[in-house]
């Protein structure tokens, strides 16, 4: 054995009798070998300071009710949100950091050495620390023994040292705020050694947005009844069960664990972790396996380890993504379909409203809840294209039940199930369009007639007559929304009272949505034999004429971004070249001519298109920000001033298809537009797609590391390409 192994830490017992119980569990990992569901594998040998690209790769596991686990490929936590279990106490929100990490040590005993001499420790955990002078330190250095990382429905790390293999596998309980970590140790027999495995939970039991320092110690209590270990603090609790182990209490703290990404984001980047004690097992034989189960409810901490419920729910989604009318028109590989199915499923969760169990879509991990705008932009790709019609209806109903004065919530509250926030002008219009797409995709006609159509009608009439925001139709039929103190469109960054992208007045994408919704509602109202179809149709015609007159910029050959009143009440034009105009070229129902659409696609493609989405400003704009970094104010300032948004590739690619009549050339161009994001998902994204990327090459991924509408729009466009092989198709 190599003498570089660290010495045994003080306080660790040094008894190394062979444990029959550990040997009896030797087969526990046998059914967890890599299979088709392990969609990502990285074979590697690296040092964090020498391989920042791998250090920046983040993985995500979810459980269908808002709980999640997240971290980096090397296993070094770099955010306050990285942990083995972030549990939803009021699904899908009220999330707490239940378990941050485990500290793992494999202590070896050389049977030939008298009196335990030669006992040494092999450590597999890794942590980042920073000294007062700014120097980076990693300790322990388990990461240097990592040889393979795998991610699918669970996450697996394989470490190797000589003949010894150490494997850690993390899985989440489906629809329960609980998790399991399983360990496999192999190669001891070849080395003629016995070993003891020590695993110490490291936890904070805090709100997942917060940071724990030891001086905010809530007075953690630790109770061990021989089968279940409970740790409590701040009226929160987490339970552990480790079969065949012995628990030794320690009540220790680790200080100043450093989170690199938090520092980049201008936040508190140091945290103290509480260690209630350690679990220990004697390990011997050719291969042995043990496990720790943990969760925030005692009844959920059990020996069950069954991924079948998730597999069963994913299988029809993959089959739906595989259906194309012409076999030769398939553009996604089997691996990509599987990855997209898992990625899309991560965002779909349960939500109970008024005692009714419904569905919703989380906007992104780790910090977003369910936002109305994001939900209904994402619904077609995440739910309709994957055949999840029941969840689509339940999601529509969840927001329909919360409509107030014609507005669907911009978001539900993170902490109060009865509270919602309504500060959006486009969320309600996206709801109407999603509801109509649900019906057009073969949704429940009874539900459409009994509730959804009425909700859509309520929204449109409220916008016509005027509602909160303020939001309402002007004399020309176009929607006017907000004022100098509001941010109601999707470009809604605001910090310290400053609105970085003021777009009050008549915004181009809002009125493109308005026209599309009016035309669709006129069509569906006629189908229902409702009175009012003529009103929607006549209003749509008025809006079409006004839209072209107000927004079309003949000199530039594209659309103005917004038209607004100044302090003297005079109409002003914001000619900023932004991606918002692309929606008018993408929607099936558009007030623009084909030539106008083509001009917009050319303008946006020449100045805003990147391999990972659309920039929000061209590089020659004086407000352009090449990078997205710094504190909250600096990031918000850059958020919509050049930063790339992957989800915008959806309307861009759809506009390309419509301008080309869905012919072979336009399908090839649309696929090229989404191919960069597919490649990102398969590589650095580790199965997910980011919220945003920096405007300047190499377009560093930033913001949320997993964003619903980024995934949804790639799925939607891919399906649009595959299902529109016939030239002239409506899509």
Say what the pLDDT of residue 110 is: 63
Strands 558-559 and 552-553 turn out to be antiparallel
Question: How confident is the prediction for the chain on average, in pLDDT?
Answer: 89
- Beta-bridge partners for 107: 121, 196
Identify whether 210 is part of a domain. Answer: yes
Identify whether 104 is part of a domain. Answer: yes
Looking at residues 478-485, what average pLDDT do you find? 94
Identify whether 273 is part of a domain. Answer: yes
Identify whether 136 is part of a domain. Answer: yes
Identify whether 552 is part of a domain. Answer: no
Say what the pLDDT of residue 190 is: 62
Looking at residues 553-575, what average pLDDT do you find? 94
124 neighbors 184 (Cβ within 8 angstroms): no
Domain residues for the domain of 210 are: 6-27+38-303
Q: How far apart are CA 137 and CA 128, in angstroms?
A: 6
What is the pLDDT confidence band of residue 3, given thresholds at 50, 70 and 90? very low
Looking at residues 635-648, what average pLDDT do you find? 96
Q: What is the DSSP letter of 371?
A: B
> Between 109 and 499, where is the model more confident?
499
Identify whether 185 is part of a domain. Answer: yes
Residue 56, token pair as written in the block: 């920046």
What is the pLDDT confidence band of residue 45, given thresholds at 50, 70 and 90? low
Q: How many CB atoms lie within 10 A of CB 303?
A: 10
- Is residue 320 scored above 50 in pLDDT? yes
405: left (phi over 0), alpha (psi -120 to 50) or beta: left
User: Nearest CA to 466 among 486, 484, 482, 485?
Assistant: 482
Q: How far apart are CA 273 and CA 259, in angstroms?
A: 12
Say what the pLDDT of residue 567 is: 85
What is the pLDDT confidence band of residue 552, given thresholds at 50, 70 and 90? very high
pTM of the model: 0.92
Cα–Cα separations (whole angstroms), residue 350 to 279, 359, 453: 34, 4, 23
Q: How far apart are CA 557 and CA 575, in angstroms?
A: 11
pLDDT tens-digit series, residues 449-464: 899 999 999 999 999 9
- Is residue 726 scored above 70 in pLDDT? no
- Is residue 354 scored above 90 in pLDDT? no
360 neighbors 345 (Cβ within 8 angstroms): no
238 neighbors 296 (Cβ within 8 angstroms): yes
Helices (H), 466-593: 508-527, 533-551, 582-586
Three-class DSSP labels, 541-558: HHHHHHHHHHHEECCCCE
Q: How far apart are CA 482 and CA 499, in angstroms?
A: 12
Domain count, the chain: 1
pLDDT tens-digit series, residues 229-267: 999 998 999 999 999 999 999 999 999 999 999 999 998
Q: What percent of the chain has pLDDT over 90?
A: 74
User: Nearest CA to 498 among 636, 683, 307, 321?
Assistant: 636
What is the pLDDT confidence band of residue 660, given thresholds at 50, 70 and 90? very high
What is the pLDDT confidence band of residue 325, given thresholds at 50, 70 and 90? confident
Looking at residues 522-542, what average pLDDT do you find? 86
pLDDT tens-digit series, residues 402-460: 999 999 999 888 777 678 889 999 999 999 999 999 999 998 889 998 999 999 999 99
Q: What is the DSSP letter of 9?
A: P
CATH code of the domain in which 278 resides: 2.70.98
Identify whether 62 is part of a domain. Answer: yes
pLDDT tens-digit series, residues 110-141: 655 544 455 688 899 999 999 988 888 999 98
Alpha carbon 586 to chain centroid distance?
A: 25
Give the distance between the most distant pair of CA atoms in the chain.
95
Angle at alpha carbon of residue 40, lines to 35 and 44, rounded to 5°:
110
Identify whether 238 is part of a domain. Answer: yes
- Is residue 31 scored above 50 in pLDDT? no
Say what the pLDDT of residue 22 is: 36
Say what the pLDDT of residue 51 is: 52
Angle at alpha carbon of residue 166, lines to 165 and 168, rounded to 5°:
145
First to last CA, the chain: 64
Q: How far apart are CA 168 and CA 671, in angstroms?
A: 38
Say what the pLDDT of residue 541 is: 97
- Is residue 10 scored above 50 in pLDDT? no
């Amino acid at each position: 054995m190599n003498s570089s192994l660290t010495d045994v830490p003080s306080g660790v017992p040094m008894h190394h009798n062979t444990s029959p119980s550990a040997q009896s569990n030797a087969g526990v990992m046998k059914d967890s070998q890599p299979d088709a569901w392990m969609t990502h594998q990285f074979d590697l040998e690296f040092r964090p300071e020498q391989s920042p690209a791998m250090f920046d790769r983040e993985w995500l596991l979810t459980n269908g009710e808002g709980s999640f686990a997240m971290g980096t490929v090397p296993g070094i936590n770099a955010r306050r949100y990285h942990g083995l279990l972030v549990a939803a106490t009021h699904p899908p929100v009220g999330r707490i950091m239940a378990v941050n990490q485990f500290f793992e040590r494999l202590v070896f005993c050389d049977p030939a050495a008298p009196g335990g001499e030669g006992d040494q420790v092999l450590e597999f955990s890794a942590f980042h620390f920073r000294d007062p002078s700014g120097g980076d330190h990693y300790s322990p250095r388990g990461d240097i023994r990592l040889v393979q990382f795998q991610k699918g429905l669970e996450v697996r790390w394989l470490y190797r040292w000589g003949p010894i293999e150490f494997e850690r596998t993390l899985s989440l309980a489906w629809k329960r705020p609980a998790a399991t970590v399983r360990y496999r140790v192999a190669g001891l027999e070849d080395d003629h050694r016995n070993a003891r495995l020590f695993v110490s939970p490291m936890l904070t039991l805090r709100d997942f947005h917060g940071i724990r320092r030891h001086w905010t110690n809530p007075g953690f209590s630790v109770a061990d009844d021989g089968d279940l270990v409970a740790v409590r603090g701040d009226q929160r609790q987490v339970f552990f069960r480790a079969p065949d182990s012995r628990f030794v209490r320690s009540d220790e703290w680790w200080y100043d664990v450093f989170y690199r990404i938090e520092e980049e984001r201008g936040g508190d980047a140091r945290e103290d972790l509480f260690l209630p004690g350690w679990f220990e097992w004697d390990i011997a034989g050719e291969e042995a396996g043990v496990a720790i189960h943990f969760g925030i409810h005692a009844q959920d901490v059990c020996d069950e380890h069954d991924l079948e419920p998730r597999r069963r729910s994913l299988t029809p989604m993959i089959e739906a993504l595989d259906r194309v009318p012409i076999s030769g028109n398939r553009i996604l590989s089997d691996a990509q379909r599987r990855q997209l199915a898992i990625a899309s499923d991560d965002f779909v969760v349960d939500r109970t409203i008024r005692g009714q169990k419904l569905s919703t879509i989380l906007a992104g991990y780790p910090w977003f809840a369910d936002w109305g705008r994001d939900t209904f932009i994402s619904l077609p790709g995440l739910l309709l294209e994957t055949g999840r019609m029941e969840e689509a209806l339940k999601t529509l109903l969840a927001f329909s039940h919360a409509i107030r004065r014609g507005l669907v919530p911009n978001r539900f509250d993170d902490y109060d199930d009865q509270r919602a926030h309504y500060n959006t002008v486009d969320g309600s219009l996206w709801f109407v369009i999603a509801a109509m797409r649900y019906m057009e995709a073969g949704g429940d006609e009874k539900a459409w007639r009994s509730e959804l159509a009425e909700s859509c009608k309520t929204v449109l009439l409220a916008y016509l007559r005027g509602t909160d925001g303020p939001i309402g139709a002007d004399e020309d039929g176009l929607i006017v929304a907000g004022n100098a103190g509001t941010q109601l469109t999707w470009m809604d960054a605001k910090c310290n009272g400053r609105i970085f992208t003021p777009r009050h007045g008549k915004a181009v994408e809002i009125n493109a949505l308005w026209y599309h919704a009016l035309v669709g509602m006129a069509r569906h109202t006629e189908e229902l034999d409702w009175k009012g179809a003529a009103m929607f149709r006549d209003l749509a015609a008025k809006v079409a004429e006004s839209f072209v007159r107000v927004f079309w910029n003949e000199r530039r050959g594209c659309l103005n971004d917004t038209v607004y009143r100044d302090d003297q009440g005079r109409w002003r034009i914001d000619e900023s070249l932004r991606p918002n105009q692309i929606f008018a070229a993408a929607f099936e129902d558009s007030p623009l001519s084909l030539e106008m659409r083509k001009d917009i696609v050319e303008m946006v493609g020449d100045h805003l298109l990147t391999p990972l989405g659309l920039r929000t400003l061209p590089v020659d704009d004086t407000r352009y920000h090449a990078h997205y970094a710094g504190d909250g104010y600096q990031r918000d300032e850059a958020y919509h001033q050049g930063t790339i948004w992957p989800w915008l590739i959806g309307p861009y690619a759809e506009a390309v298809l419509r301008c080309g009549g869905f012919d072979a050339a336009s399908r090839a161009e649309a696929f090229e537009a989404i191919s960069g994001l597919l490649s990102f998902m398969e590589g650095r994204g580790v199965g997910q797609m980011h919220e945003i990327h920096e405007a300047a090459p190499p377009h560093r991924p930033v913001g949320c590391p997993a964003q619903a509408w980024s995934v949804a729009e790639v799925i939607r466009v891919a399906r649009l390409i595959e299902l529109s092989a016939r030239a002239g198709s409506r899509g």
